[in-house]
Amino acid sequence: MSVSNYLTSRTSKPCVKKLLPRRFASGIVPPMNAQPAPSSQPPPSPAGRFARFTSWLFRWQTFKWVLFCAMPCMLMLLLLLVWFEGWRGRRAWEEFRTGWEAKGEKFDWRALVPPPVPDEENFGKTPLLAGLFNQKWDPQSKQVKMDAAAQKRADAAFPKWSVRNTGGWRFGVSTDLDPILKAHLDAEKITNAPAGPPAPLLLAALERYRPGLDELTAASKLPHARYDIRYEHGAATLLPHLGVLRSAARTFHYRAAAHLALGQTDAALADVKMQFYIARTLRSEPLLISQLVHIALLELAMQDVWDGLVMRRWSDAHLQELQRELAHEDMLASFDFAIRGERDIFSNVFFDAILAGDREQLRMLFDSGESNDVSAVGMRFMPKGWIYQNKLAVNQMFLETTRPMVDVKARRVFPAKVAASDARLKTMRTTPYNIFCKLLFPAFSRSAQRFATMQTAVDQAFLACALERHRLAKGQLPEKIDALVPGFIAQLPRDVVNGQPIHYRREADDRFVLWSVGWDGKDDNGTIATKGGTSVDYDKGDWTWPAPVKPTKK
């Protein structure tokens, strides 16, 4: 019996037909090497595949799988990445900080703050100034409130009017008292002022401010000067004394100019010395704005020193006093001090507040009284790894590019390094690791130049006093500046830009010119570059202690 007949006979029974496949039950057995018949159904289209995927995606079984399996895994992975970034950022910052601390660097802002002094020995505790720091925390507005009455008293102690372009020693122009007196008359609405020379009229007008001037003069005899600044507030630190000190110094300047015009040299010197003293009280403040105000006050004092020299009012004793005042000024050290203060008090306090989640400090920094302020609250939820990396990036900028602009020991400023620092900041690609660099990093290039020009002015003023002393003693100016050593000056200062001697030229009428090469490093023979004829262009030309542009009456 053949296999086919056997199967046919066996499958004829109903029970067997149910057990065997249909193709065997029919008696048709394909050959062993037969290929399967091609499917008549077309392959699924992309739309069909997308429909099946969508159907699978939105099934309850798929949702349960994502909810209970995939999402926890993704959340754990995210938390792991955040933790790793935090660990990596903190480790990078700690390694950087430890390395620099081994070189003697300190990152604690408290090391920069001047120590407390007894109130009875403190210039800053004179009543006119002490009340400015009666600051109280207002729990309702969540802001620091000033003593309005104390601020009003201080503002009224000195004239509110100020005059620009009354003179310009950098251009060789003496102080003009006429616009100063006119500003006073306009402020007081005086239309029937008596005629006469402006100097005595100006002195009479300034008499109403004598109590404030006398109070500061008396307080300057105290051995210390420290203001009650809340440095722990970081970038939110209030500095109410700066405006008052500027008004006081400007008033001393006006009075000194009037005294010089009247030949009252001792009184003029006393007012000039008070300007130096007020400026010097800011030298211990590790804040860039305080040091820039320090420079602005010195600029006023320099005008009076220059005026007295070209008018030949100063005696040898006066000149020695001025040299002692000038010897106190070290603007390059002040720049380095301000840089460290900007880094530790402003930048690092800001980062530390975020890392500590200090809500009150953050609201203070953002000047917000709202408890749910987006800027203040949002900072607390930034990944700590990013904060550490930003803190590292900012500190690297300060230490690796900003501080090398000035070499305090070598008494040098390097314009090329200033340009390199600017270029690094401008070309820096913004990432989450350095996003705060451009936000927190101030424009130090102009600041470095400003400190350099003032240090040059201090050095030139010191030399100018020595030259005038030589003229008084010898009857004429020296042919070469080396003749001042050692009788009138212990050591000649050098140009802070190129390290070379400061240039000197004796001119007609026994006048002289001193100059340094300036920011571009080129010697222009004492030529002063200007911007629009109204201000000095410090990028070009020389930095000059000029002779007067026209004869000055004695």
pLDDT by residue (tens digit) across 381-426?
678 888 999 999 999 999 999 999 999 999 999 999 999 988 888 8
What does the alpha-carbon distance between residue 232 and residue 225 come to, in Å, rounded to a whole number? 19
pLDDT in tens, 232-290: 888 778 899 999 999 999 999 999 999 999 999 999 999 999 999 999 999 999 999 99
Domain presence at residue 56: no
Contact 183, 166 (CB under 8 A): no
The answer on pLDDT for 332 being more than 70 is: yes
Mean pLDDT (whole number) for 485-494: 95
Q: Which of 118-127, 429-438, 543-552 has the lowest mean pLDDT?
A: 543-552
pTM for the model stands at 0.83
Domain presence at residue 149: yes
Percent of the chain at pLDDT exceeding 90: 60
Position 15 confidence tier, pLDDT thresholds 50, 70, 90: very low
Paired strand residues for 514: 504, 545
- Residue range(s) defining the domain that contains residue 228: 121-313
- Residue ranges with strand state E in 128-187: 136-138, 143-145
pLDDT in tens, 113-150: 999 999 999 999 999 999 999 877 666 665 667 788 89
Closest CA to 498 of 529, 461, 542: 542
Q: What pLDDT does residue 354 have?
A: 84
The enclosing H or E element of 154 equals: helix 148-156
Domain presence at residue 321: no
Q: What pLDDT does residue 140 have?
A: 65
Q: What pLDDT does residue 291 have?
A: 96
Q: What share of the chain is helix, strand, coil (3-state, %, to 5)?
A: 60, 5, 35
Position 26 confidence tier, pLDDT thresholds 50, 70, 90: very low
What does the alpha-carbon distance between residue 266 and residue 198 come to, in Å, rounded to a whole number? 20
- Residue ranges with strand state E in 188-298: none
Domain presence at residue 526: no
What does the alpha-carbon distance between residue 55 and residue 421 come to, in Å, rounded to a whole number? 59
pLDDT in tens, 171-215: 999 999 999 999 988 888 887 778 889 999 999 999 999 999 999
Domain count of the chain?
A: 1
Please give, one letter per residue, the 3-state secondary structure of 13-65: CHHHHHHCCHHHHCCCCCCCCCCCCCCCCCCCCHHHHHHHHHHHHCCHHHHHH
Rounded (10°) CA dihedral 202, 207, 209, 211: 150
3-class secondary structure, 173: strand
DSSP single-letter state for residue 494? B
Q: What pLDDT does residue 16 have?
A: 45
Contact 547, 174 (CB under 8 A): no
Q: What pLDDT does residue 56 have?
A: 59
In sequence order, the 6+-apart residues with CB closer than 8 A to the CB of 236 are 144, 364, 365, 367
Domain presence at residue 297: yes
The answer on pLDDT for 552 being more than 50 is: no
Contact 113, 231 (CB under 8 A): yes
Closest CA to 148 of 134, 137, 165, 159: 134
Amino acid at 158: F
Domain presence at residue 239: yes
Q: Residue with structure tokens 């230490």?
A: 399
Q: Residue with structure tokens 């008084």?
A: 472
**ω into 240 cis (within 30 of 0):** no
Both tokens assigned to 26 = 């029919």
Query: Phi and psi at residue 361, in whole multiples of 5°?
Result: -65, -40
Domain presence at residue 202: yes
What does the alpha-carbon distance between residue 385 and residue 388 come to, in Å, rounded to a whole number? 5
What does the alpha-carbon distance between residue 162 and residue 11 come to, in Å, rounded to a whole number? 121
Is the CA virtual torsion 443, 444, 446, 450 positive or negative? Answer: positive
Per this entry, what is the length of the chain? 554
Q: What pLDDT does residue 21 have?
A: 47
Domain presence at residue 141: yes
What does the alpha-carbon distance between residue 252 and residue 536 come to, in Å, rounded to a whole number? 25
**Greater pLDDT, 51 or 170:** 170
Amino acid at 390: N
> CA of 512: how far to CAs of 176, 280, 476, 506, 508, in Å?
22, 29, 11, 4, 8
Position 162 confidence tier, pLDDT thresholds 50, 70, 90: confident
The enclosing H or E element of 63 equals: helix 60-65
